[in-house]
Amino acid sequence: MTLTVGLVGAGYFAQFHAEAWARMPGARLAAICDPDRARAETTAARYGGAVFGDLAAMLAAARLDILDIAAPPPAHAPAIRAAIAAGIGTVICQKPFCGGLAAAEAVTAEAEAAGLRLVVHENFRFQPWYREIARLVAHGALGEPLQLAFRLRPGDGQGPRAYLDRQPYFQTLPRFLVHETAVHLLDVFRFLFGMPEAVFADLRRLNPAIAGEDAGLIILRYADGRRAVFDGNRLVDHAAANPRLTMGELLAEGTAGTLRLDGAGRLWRRARGAADEREHGYDRPAQGYGGDCVFALQRHVIAHLTQGAAVENRARDYLATLRLVEACYASAEQGRWMVV
């Protein structure tokens, strides 16, 4: 059984989607649409698929099992509603999902009412280092987990040309660091530790060339005493050949020891009382984006559709991550803990 896929969008990050579909067992990239038809044609020449200048034409002409939305947030809700009207069974939608919580809640309810399977393309939790950390924690590597801390340091946010080469719209987002970037780590924290009870955030803008915040500290408080800390600064880099591979470094601590993620995607373990760390070997693909997490997420959805495997990132569940985003902004504005 080969599932047919239609891709909405042919911009910077959509290329990772198309490349992953092109080598996906059990799926075929059948169609690509983008208002910039030349851009869609360039993508199709590399990865296959018929080319369309708009979604309505693609839905009318192509018989699709999956609609994969990799267009900017303003296109999300209209594309999902078009998929509902066309009877598409499964939609995968990039983040920031529908641009914010209110629109996401409305579209999620509409999709559920129509029986549409709606999955959010939140890919960081599918990066191999986080899957391996989750496995190790589940097998007691930390003992009792106590704290997570992630230092985001991609180093791409300095000066008047910050972000212009890849995603220039970053400069004009009124909400930037949390809405566009920290949301990944908030979801990772949910994946590893579950949903917190409260959030505190201190956000700031360091680069005057952009509209939104680009640095900040976020603390997640859990009812059992655990904490997760996000320390983000897009102006500063970290020790990595490619600072964008992991975007930073993570430290997980517990009663039995620590796990550390470095900028090369390596994991280091240290037992309580030991003076030295030891590298923990595991499989981490070198191709694709971020440890091939785009491919991993899309393969995860294909496994659900063809084998009945459980699926993560359903829209209803992902709303919890968006509520954390809103709580961060409310906390920063009001200067207090926000209960979630």
- Domain identity same for 131 and 114: no
Amino acid code (one letter) for 294: V
In-domain check, residue 312? no
Per-residue pLDDT reduced to its tens digit, 116-139: 999 999 999 999 999 999 999 999
For 256, 289, 292, 304, 332, the CA distances from 297, given in Å and listed in that order, are: 31, 11, 9, 11, 32
Per-residue pLDDT reduced to its tens digit, 58-83: 999 999 999 999 999 999 999 999 99
- Domain identity same for 57 and 146: no
Instruction: Mark which of 121, 147, 180 sits at the end of a domain.
Output: 121
- Domain identity same for 134 and 228: yes
In-domain check, residue 248? yes
- Domain identity same for 117 and 129: no
- Domain identity same for 208 and 235: yes
| Pairwise CA distance, residues 254 & 267, whole Å | 15
pLDDT exceeds 90 at position 1: no
In-domain check, residue 315? no
- Domain identity same for 109 and 221: no
- Domain identity same for 69 and 158: no
Q: Which residues contact 52 (CB under 8 A, 6 or more apart)?
A: 31, 32, 33, 37, 40, 58, 61, 62
- Domain extent, residue 175, equals 125-290+320-339
- Domain identity same for 168 and 37: no
Number of domains in the chain: 2
- Domain identity same for 92 and 157: no
Per-residue pLDDT reduced to its tens digit, 153-183: 999 999 999 999 989 999 999 999 999 999 9
Nearest Cα residue to 65 out of 33, 30, 93? 30
Instruction: Mark which of 121, 140, 173 sits at the end of a domain.
Output: 121
Q: What is the mean pLDDT of residues 235-257?
A: 97
